[in-house]
């Protein structure tokens, strides 16, 4: 069973007015994400992982090419679902209440999440996770909460290929725009409730 590149949950140009150009999506999804899928399929062909689902491969893999490519397929698929052309701003309802309870306020959450994303040295990810309570964490390279038995709710990709075309080296501006214009809080709420 080959791992497939999932369809984007929005049109490639749908985020252009909200800070992520069609060119960024074409490179990030069409080149980077697609290459992780292709490489992973080459790595699992003819092995005990050939018919495994993606999460099982990630949990079984040691650090190295198999883990890196499987985790990056998962991370990117999750990231695309964290974005919406109608996204951004402060969440309301159950999720808003949970964030306020865990962090004190949305502003305090935003500050902590932004700091994690800004200070991830080199490539990696910042996450909102449920680890018996809502927390912010960051991971380097392909690492992800799943490998640590923690439930991911939200992520931002801080590898340079995620933002460099549109934001150049201004990672803080990309992060701020992500929170203000792009976060798909409906997806985050679904993750909280599963």
Tell me: the pLDDT tens digits for 79-117?
Answer: 999 999 999 999 999 999 999 999 999 999 999 999 999
Q: What angle do CA 100, 138, 133 make, to 5 degrees?
A: 35
What would the mean pLDDT of 137-159 be, rounded to a whole number? 98
Pick the CATH number of 21-81 from 1.20.1070.10, 3.10.450.40, 1.10.287.990, 3.60.15.10: 1.10.287.990
- Cα 105 to the chain's mean position, in Å? 23
Q: Where are the domains of the chain?
A: 21-81, 93-192
- Model pTM score: 0.98
For tokens 């994690």, what's the residue?
Answer: 116
Smallest Cα–Cα separation from 175: which of 9, 15, 6, 19?
19
Counting residues of the chain whose pLDDT is more than 70, the rounded percentage is 100
Q: Give the CATH fold of the 93-192 domain.
A: minor pseudopilin epsh fold (3.55.40)
pLDDT at 133: 97
What is the rounded CA–CA span in Å between residue 194 and residue 174?
A: 29
What is the pLDDT of the chain when averaged over all its residues?
98
What is the rounded CA–CA span in Å between residue 168 and residue 173?
A: 10
Contact 148, 188 (CB under 8 A): no
Element (H, E) at 190: helix 185-192
The DSSP code sequence of 3-46 is: ---PPPSS-TTTTGGGT--HHHHHHIIIIIIHHHHHHHHHHHTT
Smallest Cα–Cα separation from 29: which of 141, 187, 165?
165
Q: Is the pLDDT of residue 1 over 80?
A: no
């Amino acid at each position: 069973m080959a791992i497939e590149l999932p369809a984007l949950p929005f049109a490639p140009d749908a985020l252009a007015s909200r800070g992520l150009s069609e060119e960024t999506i074409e490179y990030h999804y069409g080149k980077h994400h697609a290459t992780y899928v292709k490489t992973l399929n080459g790595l699992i062909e003819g092995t005990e992982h050939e018919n495994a689902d993606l999460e099982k491969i990630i949990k079984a893999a040691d650090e190295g090419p198999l883990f890196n490519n499987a985790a990056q397929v998962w991370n990117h698929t999750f990231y695309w679902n964290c974005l919406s052309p109608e996204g951004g701003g402060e969440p309301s309802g159950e999720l808003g209440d949970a964030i306020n309870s865990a962090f004190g306020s949305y502003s305090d959450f935003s500050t902590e999440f932004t700091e994690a994303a800004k200070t991830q040295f080199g490539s990696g990810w910042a996450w909102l996770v449920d680890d018996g309570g809502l927390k912010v964490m960051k991971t380097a390279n392909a690492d992800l909460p799943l490998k640590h038995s923690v439930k991911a709710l939200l992520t931002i990709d801080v590898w340079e290929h995620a933002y460099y075309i549109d934001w150049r080296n201004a990672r803080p501006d990309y992060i701020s725009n992500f929170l203000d214009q792009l976060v798909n809080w409906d997806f985050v709420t679904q993750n909280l409730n599963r």
